[in-house]
Structure 1
Amino acid sequence: MQQSRLARLHAPTLWLSGDPSDIAHKNAQADFAAVAGLPAAWVWHEGTGHAEHYRKVHGGEFVEPVVSWLDWQLKGVRSQGAMFKSADCGLCTQSGWHVSTKALDDQP
C-alpha cells in the first residue's frame, strides 16, 4: 500500500496473509511495519499461499481470525480480542499461526 494511504488509516487494522510463498506476504509485512498510531495486527499462516483458504469451504483456516477480529472491532465482543492479544493469544497457541501486534493490549 502506498505510504500516503497508510498514513490515513485511523481505525484498528488487521493484515492477514499466507506464508512467505504468498505474493502478498512481504507487502503485508512492510505495511504493518510502517503503520503507526493505531492498533494493528498482522497474522499469517504457515503452509498457506495467496488467498488459499478463502477458496475452501467456509473460509478454511482464515475464517476464525477474520470473524474474531470483526466481532471484536465492529460488534464490541471483547472476548474475541483474546484471539490476538498477549503472548499466549488464541492464535499464538495454535500450530502454524504467527501473530504480530501493535497497541492491541490497550483495546477493550
Structure 2
Amino acid sequence: MKLSSVHLSSFALLLSLAFCAGNAHAFGGRDDTTGGSYDSSGGNQTTQERAGSSCTLYRPSNLDGNHPVILWGNGTGASPSSYRGLLRHWASWGFVVLAANTTNAGTGRDMLECLDWLEDSSISGYINFNKVGTSGHSQGGGGSIMAATDDRIATSAPIEGYTLGLGHDRRSHTNQSGPMLLLSGSADTLVNPTRNHAGLFSRTNVPVFWAILQGASHFEPVGDGGDFRGITTAWFLYQLFDDADAATEFEGSNCGYCNASRWEVEQKSL
C-alpha cells in the first residue's frame, strides 16, 4: 500500500483528533492485561526541555550517571507532544528519552541525530551509551526499525510501525543491531499487522517478541501509550536495565505476556 497525499493528510488529521480526545486513557493507570505494574509511574520526577533545535528531551529530574536512552519517532503529522504522556512515563522509570521534532520520521535519520546531539551534550556524563533503544509509532515505528541498524542501538520497540514506504527500507529488517519488541494492533486498519509485520518477524536477523494487542486501533498509543505503555516499559527495563523481573515477561513459553489477556504473541529466538 502506498499512501497518497490525501491519505497522509487524513492520517495526520485523525492523529490530531485522537490526541485531542485524550485517547480515552488516564495517565498513571494500571495495565490489567498482565500482572505487572509497568503501566504505573516509575516514581521519578521528570523534566521536559529542548535538546538542540531538532529534538525534545524527557528525563528524570535528578540524573545519577547511568541512564539508558530511548529514541522516539512520531507518527505522520504528529509531534512529541502527541505522545507526551508515554515519553514522560518512560522518563519516570529512569530512561532519558529523546524525541525527534519531525512529522516524517520514517528514515530514522532524525532520531539518530538526537543521539548525536546527546553524545556532545552537557548531560552526556549521566548517560549509558551502551544501552540505547529506539521506538516510535506508525511512520515513526518504521523509522525506529531503520534507526536500529546503527551499531549504537541495543534494542528496538516499534509500535504499529509502517513498513511499506514513507522512507522505510525493508533491507533494514535483516540488518538490526539488537532484539526487537514488535507491537501491532489487531484492529489497526491503517497499518495492517499481516502486511506490515509478518514478513518483518520472519526476515529479521535478531530475536523478536511479536505482540498483537487484541481490539487495538491505530491510535491506541497516542497520548499516554494506552495499553502499549506497560509492555514497552517492561521491554526497555529488560533490555536496557537488565531487569530480571521484567525479563520474565518475555522469556520462555510461560512468560508473563505469553499468557496475558488481550495479547496474541509469537516469539523468535527469545
Structures share fold, TM-score greater than 0.5: yes
Q: Secondary structure at the match of 2:211?
A: strand
- Larger-gyration structure (1/2): 2
- What TM-score results when the alignment is normalised by the length of structure 2? 0.35
Does residue 45 in structure 1 map to residue 197 in structure 2? no
Counterpart of 1:31 (choices 196, 200, 208) is 200
Give the counterpart of 1:4 among 171, 185, 195: 171
Write the distance in 1 (CA, Å) between the matches of 2:219 and 2:203.
23
Residue 15 of structure 1 corresponds to 182
Identity %: 27
Unaligned runs of 5+ in 1: none
Change in 2 beyond 3 A, CA 1:55/1:21? closer
> RCO higher in 1 or 2 (8 Å CA, sep ≥ 6)?
1
Q: Which residue, 235, 241, 249 being the options, matches 1:69?
A: 235
Report the counterpart of residue 89 of structure 1 in structure 2.
255
SS of the residue corresponding to residue 257 of structure 2 reads coil
1:17 shift after superposition: 1.0
Cα deviation 1:50-105 (Å, max 9, x = unaligned):
141x135x42211111001101111111221111122221112221101111111x
TM-superposed deviation, 1:20: 5.1
Residues 42 and 100 in structure 1, CA contact (< 8 A), matched pair in contact too: yes
**Residue 8 to residue 97, structure 1, CA distance change in 2 (3 Å):** same
What letter is aligned with 1:8?
N
TM-score by length of 1: 0.81
* RMSD (Å), alpha carbons: 1.7
Q: AA paired with 1:77?
A: D
Residues in 1 aligned to 2:190 and 2:252: alpha-carbon distance in whole angstroms = 28
Q: Which has the higher strand share?
A: 2
**Unpaired segments ≥5 residues, structure 2:** 1-162, 164-168
Runs of 4+ in 1 over 4 A off after TM superposition: none
5 Å-filtered alignment, 1:55-66, equals 55=222, 58-66=224-232
Residue-by-residue CA offset, 1:1-32 (whole Å, 9 max, x unaligned): 43311121020111111005443212122211
